[in-house]
Amino acid sequence: MGSGTSTQHHFAFQNAEKAFKAAVLIQRWYRRYMARLEMRRHCTWSIFQSIEYAGQQDQVKLHNFFSYLVDHFTPNNHNERDFLNRMFTEERSPQDSEMENCRDYESIEVPDSYTGPRLSFPLLPDHATALVEAFRVKQRLHARYVLNLLYEARKHLVQLPNINRVSTCYSEEITVCGDLHGQLDDLIFIFYKNGLPSPERAYVFNGDFVDRGKDSVEILMVLFAFMLVYPKEFHLNRGNHEDHMVNLRYGFTKEVMHKYKTHGKKILKLLQDVFCWLPLATLVDEKVLILHGGVSDMTDLEFLAKLDRHKIVSTMRCKTRKEHKKQAEEKGKANQTSSAGTPSPWFLPQSHSLPTSPLRPSTQKAHRAGRSSSVPCGVPLDPKELSHRVRHSVDLELERCRQQAGFPVIKEKEEPLPSASEADPEAEGRREPTQEEWRQVVDILWSDPMAQEGCKANTIRGGGCYFGPNVTERLLQKYNLQFLIRSHECKPEGYEFCHSRKVLTIFSASNYYEVGSNRGAYVKLGPALTPHIVQFQANKATHTLTMRQRISRVGESALRALREKLFAHSSDLLVEFKKHDKDKTGLITLSDWAAAVESVLHLGLPWRMLRPQLVSSLTDNKLEYKSWLKNLAKEQFSHENIQSSLLEALYRNRSNLETIFRIIDSDHSGFISLDEFRQTWKLFSSHMNIDVTDDCICDLARSIDFNKDGHIDINEFLEAFRLVEQSCSKGYASDC
Amino acid sequence: MSQIIQWIEIGTIIRSLGCCPSEGELHDLIAEVEEEEPTGYIRFEKFLPVMTEVLLERRYRPIPEDILHRAFEVLDPAKRGFLSKEELIKYMTEVGERFSQEEMEEMLSAAIDPESNSIHYKDYITMMVVDEN
């Protein structure tokens, strides 16, 4: 008995020990597997982000191209002059009197055969809900109702202050959503999961409703509808993509013209105005500030609250050639910053220098007098008193805005006005923002938080700044705020806290880069204003995929994009590789490969880690670079008869090309003339040092299907060479 | 300078460098590289020499397939070739360096054959190994 039991115990103990060791082994192995997966996810994410931001840097290149144009190109005839002028003359923003003409939507007939939703005003909650349902089943709203809705939306927005004040006393909870970027599925999902807007359920949408996704129009319609139905509970902030210039490049303009062929232009015109009437920020209980991008060390909420936001038509600065000439003359005199040095086309962001700019704001505080505190003060108040104050200051703001909306305001400008001899009747009626006004708005729409202290120019995006924890802290203290909610950046989990939880980034477009790339999220603020995050991923298919499968799909997509980019730089890469191969063996080491690739692409990616995915075969642990480059080319295109260097050039400059085409196509017809195309290409290629003959261009153009005599259909051209994604492929739920 | 800053845990980094430490070994390693007053962050200057030594000594080598297979067999004494879902959960979450619920769910999603509700470990291991490469 005794020894038997002890033997049994002994065995049992041994078995338990064995099982323990076995379990540890399995767990150890599994955790390493997951860690490698995690690493792959990080790499994939880095790829997407770096390519996205590098794309934004393209704007700088475009800027340089046009500077080059101005410096080297003298128009020989009036056609060429017109051509250039179109790029350098600002389009007038519609005056109020012109806005009345937009009522002519009333003359647009809706055929009986139209089965989509019909709207009547004033809108009722049921109409808004019906609209969501209609869009969910893929119906399209008729242009007449689109215009009508936009017109009504504008009327409402004009009355709102720059900084919208919201109180949680009226509705119990507030839900804040971030970027949607045309992804209607995500919006529908949010309403499904969180509930439709109502007097008890307030919403704030923090900008970037449009561009990139395929349903930007529908999202705007839904958001504006709810805004009209629940004006006190439903709030919108402007994002950097609520901007007709940005829309030219990132897809919204194209979407509108594609969905509304007859009335698209009218819709775009009205939208341009509606966008600049969107409020710049929302303040909840005087404690939580919600704005799209971020802040800078110069952010002045009082100043922001008082400026005429309507003047900021686009955060892309405008400057005419006339102004350039005038300033070029004065160049010698003043200590001007770079923004005055070279002229810039009206659609490009100016590089603006930060704090050391000589163009400091003069104290234009004339409007201060007589206003009660419109800005949070330092004394804590009880909720009732607080909401009373909020209401009171809101009423004052409304009053001021109503007064303002009726009359054109001519403010003093900081910059010297064009001299009398160059006075031009067009310029006088225009209302331009001052440098300081423009900069304050750009800062809050474009800035990103960073981990380091301080504040520096956001060179990657080309606008706004990077702001550190001390900048946040100072701002929160100055205005007695609890924390900041912003969007503007995609995050893998849909949200991210930083600056000791004083800044919350919230991003609501799930699967933004690719199916499975990231979750979306929204945040709810209860009466205590503690944030409660809810995450989601709209594509059902991703739920059934394991992390492994999700990451591998996204990874594939990222790698494809990366290979494309590598191909686009083939010539430069070859030059770099040769530098590492002095003995002309045709081989280079992997370290050299990694160094060369980074020096050409400047993406800051871990090339050595990505190597197995990008380089398939090695000879003696070295890479045969010429055949590697050839393989890259083979993957990319099917038009063998087109000169590969031309194709390479097209790929490298694709986003700029599309933008240029769309600018030339100023009436949004979708067509540019063959001559314009040739001219543009000639200039572009000479500046970019692309060695391509005229004949080659003609061959290229001829290989595309012309719809009309001597006209090129932009979309066909770009899509024929896979220069843009097919408009239907992005955003659809996967089949798997 | 890359502007893209992401938070990666030190364990993830060490594991993706080819090492396969257990949790206990990982904690020891972290203790070596941590600051005297733990800030929650590791400094590269401290990490590099320690990690270099680990790699040169070939410490915490990854586990070969057959050893892994034998480990599963220990938990499956009847040598059926599979573990039931409940058994897997029991072992992974109650024995050894226990899995969190999240880790368990993630493993189950890929490992369990939904029809038999069990994990056929030989196939599972093969699949994971192929996948890694």
Asked if A546's CB is within 8 angstroms of B109's CB, the reply is yes
Mind listing the pLDDT tens digit for each residue in B14-42?
Answer: 888 888 898 888 888 888 887 777 666 77
Region A634-640: mean pLDDT is 57
Mean pLDDT, chain A, as a whole number?
Answer: 74
Amino acid residing at A150: L
Cα atoms found within 13 Å of the Cα of residue A275, Cβ hemisphere only: 27
In chain B, which residues have their Cβ closer than 8 Å to the Cβ of A20?
Answer: 95-96
Write down the pTM of the prediction: 0.64
Distance separating alpha carbons of residues A469 and A503, to the nearest angstrom:
9
Confidence of residue A56 (pLDDT cuts 50, 70, 90): low
Asked if B107's CB is within 8 angstroms of A38's CB, the reply is no
pLDDT at A332 over 50: no
Q: What is the pLDDT of residue A616?
A: 80
CA B127 to centroid of chain Cα atoms:
16
Distance separating alpha carbons of residues A248 and A253, to the nearest angstrom:
5
Q: What is the pLDDT of residue A734?
A: 27
Nearest CA-CA distance, residue A412 and chain B, Å: 38
Mind listing the pLDDT tens digit for each residue in A62-96?
Answer: 555 555 555 555 555 555 556 555 555 544 444 44
Q: What is the pLDDT of residue A146?
A: 95
Q: What is the pLDDT of residue A234?
A: 95
Is residue A472 within 8 Å of residue A192, measured between CB atoms?
no
Per the model's pLDDT, the better-predicted residue between A600 and A249 turns out to be A600
Q: What is the pLDDT of residue A560?
A: 78
Q: What is the pLDDT of residue A233?
A: 92
> Ranked by mean pLDDT, which of A39-53, A407-421, A447-461 comes out on top?
A447-461
A241 is catalytic: yes
pLDDT at A379 over 90: no
Ranges A239-253, A664-678, B70-84: which has the least confidence: A664-678
Structure tokens at A203: 């919403």
pLDDT at A678 over 90: no
Confidence of residue A14 (pLDDT cuts 50, 70, 90): confident
> Ranked by mean pLDDT, which of A330-344, A366-380, A453-467, B2-16 comes out on top?
A453-467
Mind listing the pLDDT tens digit for each residue in A688-724?
Answer: 665 666 666 666 666 554 444 566 666 666 655 554 3
Q: β-strands A671-673, A711-713: how paired?
A: antiparallel
Q: What is the pLDDT of residue A351?
A: 35
Nearest alpha-carbon partner for A721 in A658, A664, A632: A658
Is residue A500 within 8 Å of residue A494, measured between CB atoms?
no
Give percent above pLDDT 70 in chain A.
Answer: 60
Is residue A494 within 8 Å of residue A510, measured between CB atoms?
yes
Is residue A476 within 8 Å of residue A484, measured between CB atoms?
yes
Q: What is the pLDDT of residue A649?
A: 65
Instruction: List chain B domain ranges.
Output: 4-57, 65-128
Ranges A368-377, B49-58, B82-91, B111-120: which has the least confidence: A368-377
Asked if B8's CB is within 8 angstroms of A34's CB, the reply is no
Nearest alpha-carbon partner for A551 in A522, A513, A509, A521: A513
- Could you tell me how many CB contacts below 8 A there are between chain A and chain B? 107
How many other β-carbons are positioned within 10 Å of the β-carbon of residue B89?
18
SS3 A398: helix
Q: What is the pLDDT of residue A103?
A: 67
Chain A contact for B21 (CB, 8 A cutoff): yes
Per the model's pLDDT, the better-predicted residue between A489 and A732 turns out to be A489
> Ranked by mean pLDDT, which of A51-55, A489-493, A513-517 comes out on top?
A489-493
Residue with tokens 């809705």: A149
Q: What is the pLDDT of residue B127?
A: 81
Per the model's pLDDT, the better-predicted residue between A648 and B11 turns out to be B11
Chain B contact for A48 (CB, 8 A cutoff): no
Chain B contact for A33 (CB, 8 A cutoff): yes
> Ranked by mean pLDDT, which of A215-229, A232-246, A516-530, A664-678 comes out on top?
A215-229
Q: What is the pLDDT of residue A385?
A: 52
CA end-to-end span of chain B: 31
> Ranked by mean pLDDT, which of A48-57, A62-71, A280-289, A386-395 comes out on top?
A280-289
In chain B, which residues have their Cβ closer than 8 Å to the Cβ of A548?
Answer: 110, 131
Asked if A28's CB is within 8 angstroms of B23's CB, the reply is yes
Q: What is the pLDDT of residue A24?
A: 92
Chain A contact for B75 (CB, 8 A cutoff): yes
Asked if A38's CB is within 8 angstroms of B12's CB, the reply is yes
Q: What is the pLDDT of residue A691?
A: 60
Q: What is the pLDDT of residue A692?
A: 60
Q: What is the pLDDT of residue A654?
A: 66
Mutate to test the interface with A, among B2, B60, B104, B133 (most CBs of A within 10 A): B2
Long-range Cβ pairs for the range B98-104 (8 Å, 24+): B98/A27, B99/A27, B103/A30, B103/A31, B103/A34
Ranges A1-10, A64-73, A213-222: which has the least confidence: A64-73
Structure tokens at B78: 């009847």
Residue with tokens 């062929």: A261
The total number of residues written for chain A in this structure: 736
Long-range Cβ pairs for the range B5-12 (8 Å, 24+): B5/A450, B5/A451, B6/A42, B6/A45, B6/A46, B8/A38, B8/A39, B8/A42, B10/B42, B10/B47, B11/A31, B11/A35, B12/A35, B12/A38, B12/A39
Q: What is the pLDDT of residue A415?
A: 30
Distance separating alpha carbons of residues B34 and A528, to the nearest angstrom:
37
Q: What is the pLDDT of residue B129?
A: 76
Torsions phi, psi of A54, nearest 5?
Answer: -65, -35
Ranges A59-73, A464-478, A523-537, B74-88: which has the least confidence: A59-73
- Closest residue on chain B to A459 (Cα): B3
pLDDT at A603 over 70: yes
In chain A, which residues have their Cβ closer than 8 Å to the Cβ of B40?
Answer: none
Mind listing the pLDDT tens digit for each residue in A235-286?
Answer: 999 999 998 877 877 889 889 988 998 888 889 989 999 999 999 999 999 9
Nearest alpha-carbon partner for B68 in A546, A24, A17: A24
SS3 labels along A642-674: CCHHHHHHHHHCHHHHHHHHHHHCCCCCCEEEH
Ranges A3-17, A255-269, B70-84: which has the least confidence: A3-17
Residue from A127, A142, A235, A241 carrying the catalytic annotation: A241
Per the model's pLDDT, the better-predicted residue between A390 and A109 turns out to be A109
Amino acid residing at A215: D
CB nearest A32 (choices: B20, B74, B91): B20
Distance separating alpha carbons of residues A88 and A90, to the nearest angstrom:
6
Torsions phi, psi of A662, nearest 5?
Answer: -70, -30
Distance separating alpha carbons of residues A416 and A301, to the nearest angstrom:
27
CA end-to-end span of chain A: 62
Q: What is the pLDDT of residue A155?
A: 94
The arrangement of secondary structure in B65-128, i.e. its CATH architecture, is Orthogonal Bundle (1.10)
Nearest CA-CA distance, residue A463 and chain B, Å: 15
Q: What is the pLDDT of residue A501?
A: 94
Distance separating alpha carbons of residues A713 and A668, to the nearest angstrom:
11
Nearest alpha-carbon partner for A726 in A251, A285, A172, A320: A251
**A121: which DSSP letter?**
S
Confidence of residue B85 (pLDDT cuts 50, 70, 90): very high
pLDDT at A50 over 60: yes
Distance separating alpha carbons of residues B44 and B33, to the nearest angstrom:
9
ipTM score here?
A: 0.90
pLDDT at B63 over 80: yes
